Structure 1
Amino acid sequence: MSTLHLYRSLLRELRLASKQPRRIRNPVVQQHLRELIQEQRPDMVEKMLSETRDFLRASRIHAELLKRYNPLHDMTEEEKIRATARRVGLNTPKEYIEE
């Protein structure tokens, strides 16, 4: 696989992994990647790019699978309790706040 192809696929994975729109993203990451590519030997660059791309892809797929199969994963404790109660057809009681 050519270095250019690996570089473009790595940029694609960076775009998919980012939670921010393109105009807000920090351009330093891409600049740093370009500098690394220019400084390294071609065989080292290809290995580095493919490993980084594979890591980003695996991280993205892992996060998608966690979200799909464990929907309570990124919730707070209160949200988890509310979701669990709703699953069995109940509502959580409103907490009493003494003033």
Structure 2
Amino acid sequence: MASPQSVYRAVVRELNRAASISAPATRSKTIAENFRAIIESGSQNDAQRFDHDLANAVTFMRSQRMYKILLERYNPLHDMSTEERVKATARRVGLDMPVRENGDTDQ
């Protein structure tokens, strides 16, 4: 079983990696603070179960980070609006969307 220090370091590493994906303005500092408080208070009770729960949290954070990376890599249209998605799909097959004169979207 891993030592509490190594589990804590793994949590901090994953939090930093997850933080590096998002913009600094959108990062929540309370997540890191809450993990620190949980680790400080929880290690006295059932140490083996606590370490297992933290290892599961690290696995979850790593999986979420990889999911986001893979989603961006293999589905680049996922964060676009409907109109942007239609234009990108048309460009993918070699077409351009017609330019609208009046800006209507009902056509």
TM-score bin, normalised by smaller chain: 0.7 to 0.9
Q: Residues 73 and 53 (structure 1 numbering): CA distance in 2 closer, same or farther, change over 3 Å?
A: same
- Relative to the length of structure 1, the TM-score reads 0.83
**Secondary structure of the structure 1 residue equivalent to 2:80:** coil
C-alpha separation in 1, matches of 2:72 and 2:23? 19
- Pick one of 50, 60, 82 that aligns with 2:65: 60
Q: Residues 8 and 67 (structure 1 numbering): CA distance in 2 closer, same or farther, change over 3 Å?
A: same
Unaligned runs of 5+ in 2: none
Give the aligned partner of residue 83 of structure 1: 88
1:1-99 paired onto structure 2 within 5 Å = 1-18=2-19, 19-21=22-24, 25-40=27-42, 41=45, 42-97=47-102
- Relative to the length of structure 2, the TM-score reads 0.77
Give RMSD over aligned pairs.
2.0
Equivalent residue letter for 1:32: N
Equivalent residue letter for 2:38: L
Task: Kindly indicate whether the alpha-carbon contact (under 8 Å) linking 2:7 and 2:55 is maintained by their aligned counterparts in 1.
Answer: yes
Unaligned runs of 5+ in 1: none
